Homo-oligomer: A and B are copies of this chain.
Amino acid sequence: MPYTYKHPRPALTVDCVVFGLDDEDLKVLLIERGGQPFAGAWALPGGFVEMDETLDVAAQRELSEETGLGKVFLEQLFTFGDPGRDPRGRTVSVAYHALVNIRDHRVRAATDARDVNWFAVAERPPLAFDHDKILEMAHQRLKGKVRYQPIGFELLPKRFTLRQLQHLYETLLQRTFDKRNFRRKVMSMGFVEETGELQREVAHRAARLYRFDEKKYKRFLQSGYLFEL
């Protein structure tokens, strides 16, 4: 059953940039396209918006259908609409992004995706469509946010060492920090506190364990104070 309109309309899609952290790297979730165009190429998960769903729901649905990823906190990033960005004809795509802990999620390819995998952002294959541009913008946005907002704490275990926290920031920002400066900054934020416990069952000297105080964190955000690494 064809659909007819008085004026031409672009097609509307959503695309999802899901960043994942593991112990080594900042990664991004990509699918291998099963169909044309760009069959066999890697791309961001995504697809066409249904007429009766919101954009947020479309993004969540496409992500879950193609990669098996459960519900994640997807945030709208930017809408990409250059006339030549899709060889099938004018297609406008609303891009979303998220940051998850890779350990917490299983992925498996389905529907339009032939395969699915996490790739280190810096070592990914070239992507279909303008997806490299979308990924690049999402990466810039992530790095911008991380510098001024304590994000990513929810990706750590409940009790963590300052070394783990530093590693999180070093991975997100792809740079190294001076250990003492980093610790001083983190402690001055006021919402990371010692648990009084030490790491257990480690070969090296057991480090102190810290936790993240959500109430103090919320107060910190409300105060409008920003920290800078």
Residues on A facing B (Cβ under 8 Å): 2-12, 48-49, 51-55, 76, 78-79, 81-83, 90, 92, 94, 147-148, 224-226, 228
Contacts and interface: CB of A to CB of B under 8 A. Distances in A.
Query: Which 6 A-B pairs have CB atoms at the shortest separation, nearest pair first?
Result: A55-B81, A9-B9, A3-B8, A79-B79, A2-B4, A4-B4
A224 B228 CA distance: 8
Given A92-B12, A225-B228, A81 B49 contact: yes
23 contacts: A2-B4, A2-B6, A3-B5, A3-B6, A4-B4, A5-B5, A5-B11, A7-B48, A9-B11, A10-B51, A12-B12, A12-B81, A49-B81, A51-B83, A53-B83, A54-B83, A76-B79, A79-B79, A79-B94, A81-B94, A92-B92, A148-B226, A225-B228
A81 to B, nearest CB: 4
A70 to B, nearest CB: 23
Within the oligomer, what is the number of copies of this chain?
2
A8 B48 CA distance: 10
Contacts of A8: 3, 51
Nearest to A6: B2
Contact of A55 (B5, B7, B76, B79): B79
A108 to B, nearest CB: 26
Contacts of A49: 10, 81, 92
